[in-house]
A and B are shown apart, each in its own frame.
Chain A
Amino acid sequence: MALRKTALLSGITAAVLGLAACGGGTGSGSNNNNSSGSKQVSSIKLVAAEYSADHTKAFWDQFAATYKQKYGITLDVQIISWNDIAQQSTTMVQNGNPPDVLNINYYSSYAKDNLLYSADDVLPASVQSDLLDSFKTSGTFNGKLYGFPDLSSARALFYNKTLFSRAGISAPPKTWDEFEADAKKVQALGNGVVGYAEPLGPEEAQAEFSIWTFNNGGDWKDASGKWTVNSDKNIQTLQFLKKLSVTDKVTQNNPGKTNRTDGAFPLFTGGKAGMIVGFGPLSGTLDKDKKVDYGIAPMPTNGGIAPQTYGVTDYLNAFKKNGNQQALKDFYELYYQPDQVNTFIKAEGFLPVTKSGLDVFKSEPALKVYIDTLPNVHLTPNQDPVWDKVLLAVQQQIGAAVAPSGDPKKVLDALQKTAEAGG
């Protein structure tokens, strides 16, 4: 009996090893690091961040098929969740094996390390002129365009119409004072309802803070490029956010330790929050669940300025590798075709990055709030590699400022120091 077991075991092992060795296939695309520079690659690799289970892979699979058909080059697609992409991309670069195209949320540090092609190398001229100017500016490092946007999103104030009417509020707030008053009214409804869901946890704290401070006239840098993290306007904003939570008590519990995905958003989609800063995918969820009658409005401002739209783009970074320049040119040419890029954007619920895209999306009434302001959208200073580090510092430190014992000025002073020290 033992002998049979042995035989079985050895048999399984042998079979499995045989299977694995031949069925596995080789790893990174072949011919990626040719010494003869003029030889072109036969396959390139894309590392794509996963926005959604339903759409991301499906899009890139059909894109790869079209790409192969059109240009004869294989596109290996690796889908990685947003939670893991920082670790994975760093590991790849650390081992000298970056992908040919990396879909990630920053670019200038890669450009600074001289790892990327610029637009002149791989982006067709027609695409360059089609990209929205605000994104081109934001994607330009050292005078060259390196940050090619894959999609964009803009944030706006979402409000619960049902709660508003119950609280006797007729229109969404336009100023901070109105906002505070409205939040108090909704909070007074009781029954587990909060006036405003404020996520300042590490997930996207910089987004929440940015949109508020932009609408107070504050910013991360001033026009001359100097860091203004601890400017008076920024401190005032953070103090306001702290006041909402600690003094007025119109936010959810512990905003400094609440993330969007499993904290603030569920409160709003469950009808338990009067207002929240939201974006396209949140609309998608709300429309699917059909539980909340919601409206979208421009952010309230302080000091009488015009409402600022906070925008975010992610990037498709083009890595310099031997022989892949033409393949990358083909990639971007195909990606920015209106029927490709806009299909992707529409499926995932985001906003266009090209002027031609604006025309396509203009006809959607639900997106009007964003589309009108998209050309003038206000972004974070992505073109500065130092920002890539400051961003992380902000995510890790800013939440502490809105705790009862938090000190907004101290936190922003510390961040200013980090920024000035070069991250």
Chain B
Amino acid sequence: MALVNRSRRGRLPGWVALVWLSPALVLIAGVVIYPAIELVKAALGEYSITGLRTGSAGLSNFRKVLDHPDLGTVLKNTAEWVVAVVAITIVISLGLAQLLSKEFFGRRVVRWAIIVPWAASLVITARLFTLLFDFYHGLINRLLVFLHILPRPVDFLGDDHWTMPSMILVGVFVSLPFTIYVLLAGLSAISDDVLEAARIDGAGPWQLYRQITLPLLRPALLIASVLNIIYVFNSFPIVYTLNDRNPGYAHDTSITFMYKLAFKSAEHSVGMSAAAGVFNVLLILVVVMIYLRVVSWQEAVR
């Protein structure tokens, strides 16, 4: 079946389109738009430590967030976290999706195994890795020392040099299944005829991949990367749980920073936290817009 074509679109009066879209619109309005408005309202309020609203704060919450001494660290961490996890995940997923698209004995079982990190709750996986990374009772240290890769145990979660890499490892680990799955769906849409034809014309495997497969994977790659950027940016359990023992904000990303502002810091202010939440949304919105522009999404999606 030819994958590439022009799908002609009919013109539709607005109200008919509304009928097709209305259930989605209602759900989104209810569960996202209304709370988003509440978020902005909260950001404009002054709150006591108990959560009681004590008046209007104007824009002071926003100012306080921008003036926060740890904001720079948090933003830097966020950038490292998102870029590293998404990039590494996509690269590994491309390879693994390729592997899993080939027929081989036991492929089914392998595909089931891949789903497990995604099937398990993030909170539990994060807690498990907190145990695995520990200095004293962590198996990772035990294994690496046993294999003489490390001379002595490393404080993966407490040592400032190792905390971010540890977080990234877990982030990649839990993002791989979903990404592989999306790319597999994309790969399955590429018919063998196209590949066979190119091969007959003399294309080597690498040429095949770069000039046929990758371009045809563009829609899937787009979905995978955009959604990954958003999900990794908003990912809370991994960063929070792995940093449970770390005081301050040294390794927090903007999402855990927002949470701690509300409930764990001396500020304990839901107003400031809401302001940080608004900034978060704006930040990810800008990042995604730029990303989409850069990969010229209009073309790929048509």
Chain A residues with a Cβ under 8 A of chain B = 86-87, 89-94, 109-110, 112-113, 115, 192, 201-203, 205, 252-254, 256-259, 262-263, 266-267, 270, 272, 385, 388-390, 392-393, 395-400, 418, 423
| A395 in contact with B51 (CB, 8 Å) | no
B142 to chain A, nearest CB (A): 11
B-chain residues with CB within 8 Å of residue A392 when the two chains form the complex: 264-266, 268
| B157 in contact with A86 (CB, 8 Å) | no
| A399 in contact with B247 (CB, 8 Å) | yes
Secondary structure of the B side of the interface?
Answer: loop
| B158 in contact with A254 (CB, 8 Å) | yes
| A91 in contact with B266 (CB, 8 Å) | no
Question: How many A-B contacts are there with CB distance less than 8 Å?
Answer: 110
Size band of the interface chain B makes with A: 20 to 34
Taking CB as reference atom, which chain B residue is nearest A418? B266
> In the complex, A390→B268 CA distance in Å?
10
A-chain residues with CB within 8 Å of residue B101 when the two chains form the complex: none
| B136 in contact with A267 (CB, 8 Å) | yes
Q: Could you write out 17 A-B pairs with CB less than 8 Å apart?
A: A89-B50, A91-B51, A109-B49, A113-B52, A202-B244, A253-B136, A254-B159, A257-B155, A257-B245, A263-B134, A263-B245, A388-B49, A389-B49, A389-B266, A389-B267, A389-B268, A418-B266
A-chain residues with CB within 8 Å of residue B159 when the two chains form the complex: 254
Q: Looking at the complex, which one of B50, B134, B267 makes contact with A110 (CB distance below 8 Å)?
A: B50
Contact (A115, B50) CB under 8 Å given A256-B247, A266-B137, A400-B247 = yes
> In the complex, A345→B131 CA distance in Å?
30
A-chain residues with CB within 8 Å of residue B53 when the two chains form the complex: 94
Map CB proximity to A onto B158-179 as digits: 1 under 8 Å, 0 otherwise.
1100000000000000000000
Taking CB as reference atom, which chain B residue is nearest A390? B266
B58 to chain A, nearest CB (A): 19
> In the complex, A270→B248 CA distance in Å?
29
Chain B residues with a Cβ under 8 A of chain A = 42, 47-54, 130-131, 134-137, 155, 157-159, 244-248, 259, 262-268, 270
Secondary structure of the A side of the interface?
Answer: helix
The 5 closest A-B pairs by CB, nearest first: A93-B51, A393-B266, A90-B51, A257-B158, A94-B51
| B265 in contact with A90 (CB, 8 Å) | no
| A253 in contact with B247 (CB, 8 Å) | no
B-chain residues with CB within 8 Å of residue A94 when the two chains form the complex: 42, 47, 51-53, 270
10 other A-B residue contacts (CB within 8 Å) besides A256-B247, A389-B49: A89-B51, A93-B50, A93-B51, A203-B244, A257-B158, A267-B136, A389-B268, A392-B266, A398-B247, A400-B248
Q: Looking at the complex, which one of A93, A202, A423 makes contact with B246 (CB distance below 8 Å)?
A: A202
> In the complex, A203→B47 CA distance in Å?
24
> In the complex, A51→B197 CA distance in Å?
67
